Structure 1
Amino acid sequence: MGGANHVSLFAVPQNASSIPAATPAAPAGKARAGAAAAASPARKALEKLGLTRDIDLALHLPLRYEDETRITAIASARTGEVAQIEAVVTASEVQLHPRRMLKVMVDDGSATCELTFFSFYPSHRKALAVGERLRIRGEVKGGFWGRQMLHPAFRKAGGDLPSALTPVYPTTAQLPQAYLRRAIATALARVQLPETVPHALAPPLPGWGSAGAGGWTLRDALIFLHHPTPDVALATLQDHSHPAWQRLKAEELLAQQLAQLTARRARERLQAPQLRAAAGDGALGAQLRALLPFALTGAQERVVREIAADLADHRPMHRLLQGDVGSGKTIVAALAACVCIDAGWQCALMAPTEILAEQHFAKLVDWLAPLLAARGQCVAWLAGGQKKKERSAMLELVASGAAALVVGTHAVIQEQVQFARLGLAVIDEQHRFGVAQRLQLRKKLDHQGREPHLLMMSATPIPRTLAMSYYADLDVSTIDELPPGRTPVVTKLIADSRRDEVVQRIALQLAAGRQVYWVCPLIEESEALDLTNATATHAELSEALPGVAVGLLHSRMPAAEKKAVMDAFKAGQMGVLVSTTVIEVGVDVPNASLMVIEHAERFGLSQLHQLRGRVGRGSAASACVLLYSVGDNGRLGESARERLKAMLETADGFEIARRDLEIRGPGEFLGARQSGDALLRFADLAQDGALLTWARESAPRMLDTHPQLAQAHLQRWLGGRADFLKA
């Protein structure tokens, strides 16, 4: 600590243009900085952070700031505050007890301060020699012998104080702050930042694009945010409410909307097969409806019509079907598959886990296999755990076209899977698939170059602001009505200390002929999280419930074993199923009336809602018990408390989704759509609704009237990341 490594903390630019390039100027668009000896590993670290262009560096904004613009007298420094002092070393010695350390005493004329270093080198001792005048920065601590600092930053005194706050940037190993600061300052001085937003489309911010009247150009905003003046209210920087932040957020939201709209228009120029439903009683959809023991709800009928209209178009469908747990999305997907098959094409349905895929497979086989068999066709199954002989047979059925419907996991999109004529791809729980996987499915073109229609399903309703931003390139169909006869689920919040009462409740349910889920968050003990594991819980319940068959299900079990356990539970041969979250979606056992979620405070809100949806599927009164544990301080964390409160207050999936967005932000809703390249780094959907509305309205006008500016704006903000939207 100290020495050369600490000089950098004080090498703060007065303004961006005052920093010379550390290496000869690079070609436009490429950032070069730092000494040649350090260039290679540091440059790799820059690339790891995605900082490959001047604009990338200019948009790499500080996490926080340090104030090195003033000197504080030691006598005036308050305990607990970070202060910068300027003082002379009056004593410096290495002490060996109770451990080896360097003790340095400094005096600025107002008082003394003791500096302590547990890690130091000979160069530090030389720099901290008696008589040296230093500029020192660190947290002031009070002690029996007076003021102290532990491992402060220091350098030789002299030179003007910085006029701006010192930025502290997000970084990685092998990329020191000093190097990153120089690289960013060099890039910021060099980068070209012409205005890309036409004045006629300016957002509702005062003085947009002007340096006067409280307005900010993009360059003004970036220079200020990298090196704010000391008089700025730090709270406005931290909560992104400062006008400079507003300028950046508006531009970012516009770039995102332009990317979404560009992707949508590009897709509309592509060709897909026109799939029209057959008419009359002989149509596959009509035959399926005649077999169903229930009638579709009004919402299901509306969504079926929306999808059928898309399938009949020559443009590829790109539709998200969303609906709450148990709203009946699978039958809608089955009817869409019927339209596709009737038109002479194949349909693929892909689910993220084998258990969920098997649930779909079982339902679809039950519904469609007899109808397809009469036509000489079948339903094929593809999964990673298949034996080679079975898999080869399935691949032949797919390639020949005999398999009109193909159901499976990500195995459906592997290279060796060749469809004869893929017309429709259905992806369930689409947010759990990676971007590359979804793109791979779309590349299963037919021999004429037409790509399949794409229907994505989600049981996690998308809040409106999220749909307006990250899903603006999709058409969205919503099943906002539950089928009649669904039993409301009572939700109870119970402390883990009352675990015995919960086990007694289970015994009563079993005595009434019902079945029970018990969900655990981990498979085995974790040093980081002291949670009871599924195996231990299985043993505990087996002992507490003699004569009851208690099953165990977790993700590490072989596929055949998982299937056997689920089949036994569905058949009623098992009273209790202890499981990890592999039963989160898709599992349908009407006789299960009680769901116990252990360590509920560790689960996400959407996940809790999905798990609760596994019960209440029959006629019996059903309950969900959220079993929670408090921390060492005897209290739940704030976000955990908010999640559990939401579960108690509402069973509406749309309200759950809205609250989840408030608590966690958009990340979990998006899944791998961003794939490490989140398209929104600065804007906050919960706070920036007005700017999002402006961006959404302005994007089509800008693309239509200023296409070159739109392209320049996209390139500045997203570079190649807009490709992720194609998925």
Structure 2
Amino acid sequence: MPEAQPDRKPLSAPQKALQKLGLVRDIDLALHLPLRYEDETRIVTLRGARDGQLAQIEGTVTHSEISFRPRRQLLVTLDDGTDTCTLRFFTFYPAHQKALAVGARVRVRGELRGGFLGWTMVHPAFHAAGGELPDALTPVYPTSAQLPQAYIRKAVASGLKRADLSETLPPALLGGLQTVVRGTWTLRDALQYLHHPGPDVSLDALEDRSHPAWQRLKAEELLAQQLSQFTARQERAALSAPALRLLPGGLHEQLLAALPFALTAAQRRVGEEIARDLMRQLPMHRLLQGDVGSGKTVVAALAAAIAIDAGWQCALMAPTEILAEQHFAKLIGWLEPLLAPLGKRVAWLTGSQKKKQRTEMLALIASGEAALVVGTHAVIQDQVQFRNLALAIIDEQHRFGVAQRLALRSKMGPDMPDGEPHLLMMTATPIPRTLAMSYYADLDVSTIDQLPPGRTPIVTKVVADSRRAEVIERIRGQLAEGRQVYWVCPLIEESEAIDLSNATATHAELSQALPGVLVGLLHSRMPVAEKKAVMSLFTGGQMGVLVSTTVIEVGVDVPNASLMVIEHAERFGLSQLHQLRGRVGRGAAASACVLMYTPPDGGRLGETARERLRAMADTSDGFEIARRDLEIRGPGEFLGARQSGAPLLRFADLTTDTHLLDWAREAAPVMLAQYPAQAERHIARWLGGKAEYLKA
């Protein structure tokens, strides 16, 4: 008889909530650190209190009543022997009334407000008086509605007690660590301290995470991340990829000769770096970064030519149909005349294709006749079978999720069942140095740091929405010179919650203001055929103004467009503004970008929005923009779904902790080479199952 399975008790609501927060292992609970702290170690007298102070007082209830003016509320008077305080509760239950009955002696904690009618506290925390005061600050943890603080405090304390916090760092590395964190803190000491700091601690040092206990934690976290990245490199070194050699007089040389322009020195340099990678049997894992308009597509085409010439297939995946179509048009123009004599084709795959065309493309890909496959995420669907994929190129890589990037890498085909294709990722959002050193440490990075000749500098102006009429007048001037204009809006249709102009209303407004001019409208909810029709009118020059949402953010290339107006520019991220600005200045005409902002009712933009607009006006250098974006918003913008929704760095801050990152980068290869078992334990402790996501 099969062995009976033990009955598993169903999880309670708080247990489910813990799981949802990712608090599964004891170490997860130990590393779940407080958001802030409450000081319950001392009792303040009302006589010695200050207005606005967060204070704990103890006293006797002398009055308790439910009042209905101006709304239903429970009013309780507390006397601490030096003065009285009114406690006000707008949400309350019979248990509250019972605990706060006249005569009860209670301890309450909240913000004290003084006024004409004396001291008040609104919705203070309270419990029966008595018992010793705690000797450490009380932690307040990040939580959810189903998880009361009392429950999570108990769970964390229990996890902290049980977790294995033994030292993973070998003595050889501890000395260097103690120098950078300023002290001999162990991980256990640091966690015990951060969960229960003494009342005399500097709250500033805890809140800005500069305290040595925080430094120890951040150094360990960065080390785990670096170990994971170096491990990914080692694992990839054990895999094989096809060695793709440059053939004399082959497709690569033919394409170079056929191009209607000369490559810049930067394009030649990165092309050579990629070609060297492709010649090795080790899978390439390279990030090609270059500012908007620096010419990444032609570098990708030259890499594709090497793969095709060697008898293999290449796939190029872009995040949107508009961007995929731009690539497709360019690549067909460059490569198809060279492929036709070889009996090869360029295939096109998107989600909106008709079934007949899709079936035809799938057959071309499976047979190998399609030497180059260009498309959206449709390229990685199950029914797409490559004959022999050797090179996968992903454009705007931060717009794809981890699973999508891993799926493309698994489609090599029957020729190398245990191999992996070479991977080239491209981004027009330059990666700041600290990100390249941390999240992208397992990648080789190539940089195109030079724009092609003939690109005109773009003048950027920041103007308030009150000058809208002047901006429309400027558009008239550009149209009179035969130029074209983009106008970008953040929303598609009216939202009652956010008072923003929308693309539809702006389209109507500009159509009326510019009689005789064809004004187009483009947004993500339009049918694909309609989008294509609008874009072809604009690229063909018949349409003077294109009103659009951010679907034109990347890839759209119309050299005749010389003015970009971005409405509600304060609502956009910095790198997104830079991407949009890059749609103009692609021809010989002087170009401008107008960042139009709408101040809130108070009349002043928030500090973050002001910093973003100031950065855009100050510089057009994508690398400087990226550096400022990292300072303002943190790394999320650059990483996209690399982390699969779970931040891989919870504690370290790449803008302030570069000294810790430098230590971790030096320590990781030493630890992997000389102490592999301890390295494995360290990765498991800090990353658990998330280590896989760093390999994508």
Q: TM-score, normalising length from structure 1?
A: 0.93
- 1:334 paired with 2:289, answer no
Q: Secondary structure at the match of 2:543?
A: coil
Q: How far apart are residue 208 of structure 1 and its match?
A: 8.5
1:205 Cα deviation from its structure 2 partner = 5.0
Matched, 1:246 2:215: yes
Structure 1 position 373, deviation (Å)? 1.3
**Residue 80 (structure 1) shift:** 1.3
How many angstroms apart in 2 are the aligned matches of 1:505 and 1:126?
Answer: 70
How far residue 44 of structure 1 moved from its aligned partner, in angstroms, is 1.2
Alignment match, 1:655: 624
1:159 pairs with one of 131, 134, 137: 131
1-side partners of 2:373 and 2:183: how far apart? Answer: 60
Deviates more, 1:316-325 or 1:116-125: 116-125
Aligned to 1:681: 650
- The aligned residue for residue 615 of structure 1 is 584
Residue 104 (1) aligns with residue 61 (2): no
State the distance in 2 between where 1:597 and 1:99 align: 45
Is the 2:385–2:413 contact (alpha carbons within 8 Å) kept by the matching residues of 1?
no
Q: Distance in 2 between the 1:123 and 1:612 partners?
A: 60
Shift in CA distance, 39/161, structure 1 to aligned 2, threshold 3 Å: farther
Letter matched to residue 481 of structure 1: Q
Say whether 1:67 aligns with 2:39. Answer: yes
State the 1:214 CA deviation: 4.3
> By how many angstroms is 1:96 displaced?
3.3
Q: Alpha-carbon deviation of 1:145?
A: 2.5
Residue 612 of structure 1 and its aligned partner are, at CA, apart by 0.9
Bigger CA drift: 524-533 or 462-471?
524-533
Quote how far apart the aligned CAs of 1:275 are: 1.1
State whether structure 2 residue 614 is matched by structure 1 residue 645.
yes
Structure 1 residue 74 displacement after superposition: 1.7
The range that moved more, 36-45 or 261-270, is 36-45
Correspondence for 1:95 = 67
1:76 aligns with 2:48: yes
Q: Provide the C-alpha distance between the structure 2 equivalents of 1:254 and 1:531, rounded to a whole number of angstroms.
A: 44
Is 1:42 paired with 2:19? no
Report the counterpart of residue 14 of structure 1 in structure 2: none
Match of 1:624 among 581, 585, 593: 593
Does residue 565 of structure 1 match 2:537?
Answer: no
Q: CA separation in 2, counterparts of 1:355 and 1:305?
A: 29
Q: Does 1:509 align with 2:478?
A: yes
Is the 1:615–1:623 Cα contact (8 Å) retained in structure 2?
A: yes
Query: Residue 194 of structure 1 aligns with which residue?
Result: 166
Aligned pairs for 1:4-43 within 5 A: 40-43=12-15
Q: Does the 8 Å CA contact 1:57/1:184 hold for their aligned counterparts? A: yes
In the alignment, the residues of structure 1 paired with residue 67 and residue 483 of structure 2 have an alpha-carbon distance, to the nearest angstrom, of: 72
- Counterpart of 1:705, as a letter, is Q
1:133 and 2:105 correspond: yes
| Counterpart in the other structure of 1:690 | 659
Distance 1:268 1:425 in 2: 18
Which of 400, 409, 421 is matched with 1:442 structurally? 409
Give distance in 2, aligned partners of 1:276 and 1:107.
87
Paired letter, 2:693: F
Partner of 2:360: 393
* AA of the residue aligned to 1:365: I
1:262 corresponds in structure 2 to 231
Contact 2:180 2:660 in 1 (8 A): no
* Shift of residue 100, structure 1, vs aligned partner: 2.6
Deviation at 1:38, TM superposition (A): 10
Alignment size in residue pairs: 687
Residue deviations 1:283-309 (CA, integer Å, cap 9, x gap)? 111111121111111111111111111
Give 1:98-497 correspondences, 5 Å limit: 98-202=70-174, 204=176, 206=178, 214-280=183-249, 283-447=250-414, 448-449=416-417, 450-497=419-466
SS at match of 1:374: helix
**Structure 1: runs of 5 or more not aligned:** 1-35
Aligned to 1:32: none
Matched position secondary structure for 1:552: strand
Letter of the 2:64 counterpart? S
- Distance in 1, matches of 2:231 and 2:467, equals 56
The answer for the alignment partner of 1:25 in structure 2 is none
CA distance in 2, matches of 1:37, 1:396: 52
Q: 1:203 to 1:426 in 2, by over 3 A?
A: farther
Q: Deviations for 1:312-364, whole angstroms, at most 9, x for unmatched residues?
A: 11111100000011110000000000000000000000000000000000100
In structure 2, list runs of 5 or more residues that go unmatched: 1-7
Contact 1:202 1:208 in 2 (8 A): no
Q: Is the 8 A contact 1:167 1:226 kept in 2?
A: yes
1:585 aligns to 2:554 (yes or no): yes
Candidates 655, 671, 678, aligned match of 2:640: 671
Shift of 1:204: 4.4
CA contact (8 A) 1:103 1:117 kept: yes
What SS does the corresponding residue of 1:136 show, helix, strand or coil?
strand
Is the Cα–Cα contact under 8 Å of residues 94 and 100 in structure 1 kept in the other structure?
A: yes
Going from structure 1 to structure 2, the CA distance change for 1:37 and 1:634 (only over 3 Å counts) comes to: farther
3-state SS, counterpart of residue 70 of structure 1: coil
Is the contact between residue 601 and residue 628 of structure 1 (CA under 8 Å) also seen in structure 2? Answer: yes
Task: Report the Cα distance in structure 2 between the residues aligned to 1:570 and 1:206, rounded to whole angstroms.
Answer: 60
Look up the equivalent residue of 1:89 and give its one-letter code. V
Residue aligned with 1:305, SS: helix
Following the alignment from structure 1 to structure 2, what is the Cα–Cα distance between the partners of residues 393 and 168?
A: 60
Q: Structure 1 counterpart of 2:294, which letter?
A: S
- Alignment partner, residue 575 of structure 2: 606
Which residues in structure 2 correspond to 1:707-718 (within 5 Å)?
707-718=676-687
Task: Give the whole-Å Cα distance in 1 for the aligned partners of 2:606 and 2:79.
Answer: 44
Secondary structure of 2:230's counterpart equals: helix
Q: Retained in 2: the 8 A contact 1:318–1:474? A: yes
User: Kindly tell me: are residues 388 and 203 of structure 1, through their superposed partners in 2, closer, same or farther at Cα, counting changes over 3 Å?
Assistant: farther
2:180–2:659 CA contact under 8 A, matched in 1: no
Query: TM-score under structure 2 normalisation?
Result: 0.97
Report what 2:3 is aligned to.
Answer: none
Conservation of the 8 A alpha-carbon contact between 1:58 and 1:184: yes
Question: Higher mean Cα deviation, 117-126 or 268-277?
Answer: 117-126
Matches of 1:607 and 1:493, distance apart in 2: 16
Cα RMSD, aligned residues only: 1.4
Give the AA of the match of 1:173.
A
1:202/1:208 CA distance change after superposition, 3 Å:
farther
**1:203–1:691 Cα contact (<8 Å) kept:** no
Report the more deviating stretch, 582-591 or 101-110.
101-110
Identity %: 73
**Cα deviation code 1:52-88 (max 9, x no counterpart):** 1000000000001111111011222222111111101
Q: Which amino acid aligns with 1:100?
A: R
Structure 1 runs, 4 residues or longer, greater than 6 Å off? none
Task: Give the distance between the partners of 1:393 and 1:529, measured in 2 at CA.
Answer: 46
CA distance, structure 2, for counterparts of residue 163 and residue 395 of structure 1: 69
Q: Secondary structure at the match of 2:56?
A: strand
SS in 2 for 1:202: helix
**C-alpha deviation, 1:552, in angstroms:** 0.4
Contact 1:261 1:700 in 2 (8 A): yes
After superposition, the Cα gap between the structure-2 partners of 1:331 and 1:58, relative to the gap in structure 1 and judged at 3 Å, is same
Counterpart CA distance in 1 for 2:497 and 2:175 is 47
Q: Is this contact kept in 2: 1:515–1:592, CA < 8 A? A: yes
CA contact (8 A) 2:313 2:371 kept: yes
Q: Offset of 1:37 from its aligned partner? A: 10
